[in-house]
């Protein structure tokens, strides 16, 4: 692992911060430690890290607020590290633009694997075929890969990078059923790297943003016991 890869560690627990620092340095990473939101935002601006490990529970500005601020200017991978393992926190964190959610206590080996996979994924050059993908239009929904623009009717929809990637992949292959593991591998580059529940969270967020009735989704359908598929049929509005 090249020393050019710098990890910003944001955790007010000095022991955990030091543990993460030692583990990452053994793998050849450079690290920067921050213990408050103000320190984290300053370090993110000054050092432009390759990845951010971000605790949720911090004094003053919490991890969700920090993530929102970083996302205004940067697409750096953000991995939440939290003692809270509630589905609601995952929904919030990933909905704000976080890329992954790791619960404490965590395995240093698993965390390092996730860090490497996110950095590898983020450093991949864009494939030529992805550069020439055409705009997809399905009745009320427009998906433009060139600008990462999504419209429902005339309303622009703000999606995170991974939400867009997931939606575009499903929509480009309408009516094909994908297992959770396949979608997880698509987004995170390693199917064995983490919890496929994260795919469910991204699907949940997409439905909230795209669907007229998220409880009865039209575009992204659940195939029980298997996974998900994109429905390319016209929207059927209730009379």
- Kindly report the length of the chain: 239
227-230, strands of its sheet edge to edge = 178-179, 227-230, 220-223
Q: Are residues 145 and 114 in the same domain?
A: no
- Residue 194 included in any domain: yes
Please check whether residues 116 and 172 belong to one and the same domain. no
Q: How far apart are CA 23 and CA 69, in angstroms?
A: 27
Within this chain, do residues 10 and 59 fall inside the same structural domain, yes or no?
yes
First to last CA, the chain: 58
Q: Are 160 and 85 part of one and the same domain?
A: no
Supply the pLDDT for residue 181. 85
197 and 102 in one domain? no
CA distances from 113 to 107, 161, 171 (A): 10, 21, 30
Same domain, 144 and 55: no
Confirm whether 73 is domain-assigned. Answer: yes
Low pLDDT (below 70) residues in the chain = 1-3, 84-86, 124-133, 188-196, 236-239
For 142-191, the pLDDT digits (tens) are 999 988 899 998 899 988 888 898 999 999 999 999 998 888 887 765 54
Asked if 98 and 15 sit in the same domain, the reply is: yes
**In this structure, are 185 and 224 located in the same domain?**
yes
Residue 11 lies inside a defined structural domain of this protein: yes
Q: Do 65 and 19 belong together in one domain?
A: yes
Domain annotation covers residue 188: yes
Strand pairing of 78-82 and 30-34?
unpaired
Please check whether residue 79 lies inside any domain of the structure: yes
CATH code of 159's domain = 1.10.10.10
In a domain, 237, yes or no: no
Any idea what the CATH number is for the domain that residue 13 is in? 3.40.50.2300
State the chain's maximal CA–CA distance in angstroms: 62
Final residue of a structural domain among 82, 104, 123: 123
238 lies in a domain? no
Residue 235 falls within a domain, yes or no?
A: no
**What was the pLDDT predicted at 130?**
45
Say if residue 117 is in the same domain as residue 158.
Answer: no
**Boundary (domain end) residue, out of 102, 123, 144:** 123
Residue 101 belongs to domain spanning: 6-123
How far is CA 74 from each of CA 39, 65, 143, rounded to the nearest angstrom?
16, 14, 22
Rounded Cα gap, residues 44 and 67, in angstroms: 11
**Same-domain pairing of 201 and 159:** yes
- Among the candidates 123, 153, 170, a domain finishes at 123
If asked whether residues 148 and 97 sit together in one domain, one would say no
pTM beyond 0.75, yes or no: no
Number of separate domains in the chain: 2
> Could you give the CA distance from residue 160 to residue 163 in angstroms, rounded to a whole number?
5
């Amino acid at each position: 692992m090249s020393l050019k890869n710098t990890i910003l560690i944001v955790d007010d627990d000095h022991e955990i911060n030091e543990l993460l620092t030692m583990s990452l340095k053994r793998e050849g990473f450079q690290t920067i430690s921050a213990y408050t939101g103000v320190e984290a935002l300053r370090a993110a601006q000054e050092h432009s890290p390759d990845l951010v490990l971000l605790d949720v529970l911090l004094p003053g500005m919490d991890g969700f607020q920090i993530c929102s601020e970083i996302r205004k200017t940067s697409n750096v991978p953000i991995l939440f590290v939290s003692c809270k393992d509630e589905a609601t926190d995952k929904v919030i964190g990933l909905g704000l633009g976080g890329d992954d959610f790791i619960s404490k206590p965590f395995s240093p080996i698993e965390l390092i694997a996730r860090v490497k996979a996110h950095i590898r994924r983020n450093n991949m050059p864009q494939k030529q075929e992805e550069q020439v993908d055409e705009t997809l239009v399905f009745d009320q929904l427009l998906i433009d890969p060139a600008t990462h623009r999504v419209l429902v009717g005339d309303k622009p929809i703000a999606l995170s990078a991974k939400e867009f990637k997931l939606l575009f992949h499903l929509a480009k292959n309408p009516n094909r059923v994908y297992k959770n593991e396949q979608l997880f591998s698509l987004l995170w580059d390693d199917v064995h790297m983490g919890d496929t529940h994260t795919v469910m969270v991204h699907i949940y967020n997409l439905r909230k943003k795209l669907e007229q009735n998220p409880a009865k989704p039209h575009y992204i359908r659940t195939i029980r016991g298997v996974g998900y598929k994109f429905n390319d049929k016209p929207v059927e509005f209730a009379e």
